[in-house]
Amino acid sequence: MELAYTDCSGGPCGYAAEGGDAACVPGDGSCRSAYLVEGAESPHHTKKLKHVTRAINALLKSVKPGPSPDHKLSFLSTPRGVVLGWVSHGASEETTQGWARPDEERVLYELGFSVIPPPGSDCDAGLCSYAFSKGACQPGGGDCWAAFFLEPDQITKVHTESARDATKALKAIMKVAESEANGRRLALVHTDAGTILVWASHSAA
């Protein structure tokens, strides 16, 4: 990997959500900095994915600032997919007591969904891991998320207009790589160096 780890606390972070706002909390790795690292070219992190990675990072850097200086743009795991949104890093643990957690379906309502969307794949809940030697998704671990980005229908502190527009543009960028899928799916794999975009094969694919 070419870049240093960009996690906000030096360890796994989680998040809690309430009323269209979200806050970083210590935890399960469900909240990741919205930045991708570029790895060495391989059958799973192809030349095309390296170009896609650069384009996504350029897009993310151009997103207008969030609702306050302590909100950082993040990838958020939910039971139905990934949300690109702004997460506060100034809330106390006392403040977030009772807020929805990432493994609860109600977190989707708190992030701005009027209706809970259907699953995009069998890996949406972030309960998979990735075998780099095989380029394959496998049960357990939680370090491999399906690169399935959701679009909440409400504008909130988390999913601002700029985050909504960036989500649409990000999905369009990823479509550029579809021609080399060959039955595989795009995945976000979280490593000590950061998050990398890869192709992942699935036994059920």
DSSP 140-161: SSS-EEE--B---SS--SSS-H
pLDDT by residue for the chain (205 residues), tens only, comes to 333 333 454 557 899 999 999 999 987 889 999 999 999 999 999 999 999 999 999 999 999 999 999 999 999 999 889 999 999 988 777 889 899 999 899 999 999 999 988 776 656 555 688 998 889 888 877 888 989 999 999 999 999 999 999 999 999 999 999 999 999 999 999 988 899 999 999 764 4
- Supply the pLDDT for residue 17: 96
- Supply the pLDDT for residue 27: 77
DSSP 16: E
Tokens read off for 142: 């939680």
Query: Rounded CA gap, 172 and 167, in Å?
Result: 9
pTM strictly above 0.85: yes
- Supply the pLDDT for residue 120: 62
What are the sequence ranges of the domains in the chain? 13-117+149-179
C-beta of residue 51 within 8 angstroms of C-beta of residue 205? no
Q: How many helices (H) and strands (E) does the chain have?
A: 3, 10
Closest by Cα among 149, 195, 159, 146 to 29: 195
